[in-house]
Chain A
Amino acid sequence: MKLKQISVFLENRKGRLWEALDALANAKINIRALSIADTSEFGILRLIVPDPDMAKKVLEKGNFTVKENNVVAVEVADKPGGLAEVLKVLSDADINVEYLYAFVEKSGEKAVVVLRTENTDAGIKALKTAGIAILLAEQVYAL
């Protein structure tokens, strides 16, 4: 149920994001989903890739500071209120969302939401109970 996500610490330096993505490109690692959290002085690049362990190795070799975290990916209908429905479930269960990012599937019918909750297991449990479709890692990589 859990999905591995790669977080990369990025200092505020010209070309640093490109260097991270270039390192992945050279290792032929395709990115399934990506998000950047930033402040004026630094940022964190978050990635979902088919082979997270490999990506971590490649980035660390390039002197990046990397951390693997667990996140959850859920599928929601690509229509108004799709995401709101998921968030209501978590809110009702009193579970805080640290961050999330979303992308639309190629077919255009569904959207995929990557979620990081304070307590991953509790998050999964609440979503499951509410009947929300949690994607397996393989399903996300195949998108």
Chain B
Amino acid sequence: MKAPEIIRPDSYWQKQDEIIGKEALATLQLEHLTKSLRRVYSNVPFYHTRFDEAGLDPENIKSLEDIRRLSFTTSDDLRANYPFGLLAVSKDEVVRVHTSSGTTGRAKAICFSKNDIECSATLIARCLVMTGTGKGDILQNMMTYGLFTGALIMHYGAEKVGALVIPAGPGNTERQIQLMRDFGTTVIHITPSYSLYLASALQQKGIDPRKDLNLRRAYLGAEPYSEETRKKIEAIYGIDVYNSYGLTEMSGPGVAFECGYKNGMHLWEDHFFAEIIDPETGEVLEDGQEGELVLTSLRREAMPLIRYRTRDITKIITGVCECGRTHRRISRILGRSDDMFVVKGVNVFPQQIEQVLMGIKGVAQNYQILLESYDHLTIRVEIAKELFDGNIEHLLQLQTEITDKVRADILVKPKIELLEPGALPVSEGKAKRVIDNRTM
């Protein structure tokens, strides 16, 4: 394994903004917050009512904490106001709409002004330069182009820093490999599950990504994944993997991103005001405590969102980062508050199980959690092809090892089904890890 790539400390896209002092940042945040609150109060009936109900006067904002008096904006609010209900500018100012589809009900529409797109591309540029990507790099973008923000926003940011972008989109693995070889791709932007699938496809073709490809780094986003999975991907490809965090509601990727130290993701606080709350009570938690990330956009023009519940579980990492950036970091996403499931009265995040599985030899990349009752949990695990030696004892040992390790972590004894490699559906977008067949 190579040592982690530490990027030169002078690699900044917007140095002054990235190393801004704590007080200057707070002043800047308050200034942008006040402007944003005034605009939504005058232009968005939904927020006008909310402010009045809370007795909050946008002309009289004293501190960032004042917004705690406002109730949260949720994805349901976005759906209820679909498509243009939350616009803070006239429709003519909108140059782009992205939607974020839920599994149920109506879609959420997120509108962008020209400047909103410019801002998100700039934030991506910060992220790319922070991790060493720039002119001379060839970035193969394997996220979905289209209504999903993941690919397009990254695309703009990558072009901004002068990288050559291959807008490959996801899927069509044969072609991805061909492109990587033909163009000497150095950077990939990809989901964790697809990167694992791509790795096994490379392996099957006898291509060693460490020797036969020109890859240097990967940006992984769109799905939560564990540190073990990161290590696995880094080892298979012989590259550095950086966590990327974003959501369509906050203009897509580039909200928070890891630097060369790979110790949490710097959240660009001059563009977003972050709070961590207890997802059950809504109470704001101290730095370092695990909870749901709530974001307030500070500079979005077309559709500013105030105290938006991301449903993503994380925590603020306290302390100064060696890279010199002052923007506070969030930990990798530990799960979605709506992905969490309860079995035998225990709260479980799929990522906890993933973390255990990826640390066990003999387990392939794909797994699925099956919930048939409130007392039982079945985990379907693909075995690694190399593991199978025809000996049933070895399979039974693997089954026992998985059972014991998962039980030690989540305190519920799972039933483990061993599957043939490739048995589970392969995702080329977001992987569906939990199948909940329970009825209330």
- Tell me if A139 is interfacial: C-beta within 8 Å of chain B: no
B residues 385-440 with Cβ under 8 Å of A?
385, 388-393, 395-396, 399, 415-423
CB proximity to B under 8 Å, residues A1-52? 5, 7, 9-13, 37, 39, 41-42, 44, 46
CB of B383 within 8 A of chain A? yes
Contact A39 B422 (CB under 8 A): no
A-B CB contact pairs (8 Å), 15 listed: A7-B388, A9-B383, A9-B418, A10-B420, A11-B419, A11-B420, A13-B423, A39-B395, A39-B399, A42-B417, A65-B383, A65-B388, A67-B388, A67-B390, A69-B390
Q: What's the minimum C-beta distance from A116 to chain B, rounded to whole angstroms?
A: 8
CA distance A137 to B391 in the complex (A): 22
Q: How many A-B residue contacts, CB cutoff 8 Å?
A: 51
| Residues of chain A whose beta carbon lies under 8 Å from any beta carbon of chain B | 5, 7, 9-13, 37, 39, 41-42, 44, 46, 63-67, 69, 98-99
Among B294-322, those with CB < 8 Å from A are none
Among A63, A65, A99, residue most surrounded by chain B Cβ atoms (within 10 Å): A65
Kindly provide the distance from the CB of B14 to the nearest chain A CB, expressed in whole angstroms.
Answer: 50
**Which residue on chain A has the smallest CB distance to residue B392?**
A37
Asked if A42 and B395 make an inter-chain contact with CB atoms under 8 angstroms apart, the answer reads yes
Q: Which residues of A contact B395 (CB under 8 A)?
A: 9, 39, 42, 44
> Which A residue's beta carbon lies closest to that of B396?
A39
State the Cβ distance, A41 to closest chain B Cβ, in Å. Answer: 5
Contact between A41 and B399, CB atoms less than 8 A apart: yes
Question: Which of B390, B391, B393, B418 has the most CB atoms of chain A within a 10 A radius of its CB?
Answer: B390
- How many interface residues does chain B have, given as a range? 20 to 34
Given contact pairs A42-B417, A63-B422, A9 touches B388 in the complex (Cβ within 8 A): yes
Contacts A9-B383, A39-B392 given; does A65 touch B416 at CB 8 Å: no
**Do residues A11 and B423 form an inter-chain contact, with CB atoms below 8 A?**
yes
Q: How far is the CA of A125 from the CA of B390 in the complex (A)?
A: 23
| CB-contact partner of A65 in B392, B415, B417, B421, under 8 A | B421
Taking the closest CB of chain A, its distance from the CB of B396, in whole angstroms, is: 7
Residues of A within 8 A of B389 (CB): 67, 69
Name the distance in Å between B389's Cβ and chain A's nearest Cβ. 6
Of B383, B388, B392, most buried by chain A (CB within 10 Å of CB) is B392
Q: Which residue of B lies closest to A46 (CB)?
A: B390
Residues of A within 8 A of B393 (CB): 98
Known contacts A41-B399, A44-B390, A69-B390; A11/B417 CB under 8 A: yes
Chain A residues whose CB sits within 8 angstroms of the CB of B390 once the complex forms: 5, 7, 44, 46, 67, 69
Q: Which residues of B contact A9 (CB under 8 A)?
A: 383, 388, 395, 418, 420
In angstroms, Cα B393 to Cα A39, docked, is 11
Additional A-B contact list (18), CB under 8 Å, known A7-B390, A41-B415, A44-B392: A5-B390, A7-B388, A9-B383, A9-B420, A11-B418, A11-B419, A12-B417, A39-B392, A39-B395, A39-B396, A41-B417, A42-B417, A44-B390, A46-B390, A63-B422, A67-B388, A67-B389, A67-B390
Minimum C-beta distance from A88 to chain B (A): 24
Taken together as a complex, chains A and B put the C-alpha atoms of A142 and B104 apart, in Å, by 62
**Nearest CB in chain A: distance from B206 CB, A:** 15
Instruction: Write out the residue numbers on chain A whose beta carbons fall within 8 Å of the beta carbon of B415.
Output: 41
Give Cα A54–Cα B390 distance, bound, in whole angstroms.
Answer: 18
- Given the complex, which residues of A lie within 8 Å of B420, measured CB to CB? 9-11, 63-65
- A12 to B420, alpha carbons, bound, how many Å? 10
A67 to B390, CA, bound (A): 6
Q: Which of A37, A41, A46, A65 contacts B385 (CB 8 A)?
A: A65
Closest residue of B by beta carbon distance from A64: B420
A residues less than 8 Å from B383 (CB atoms): 9, 65
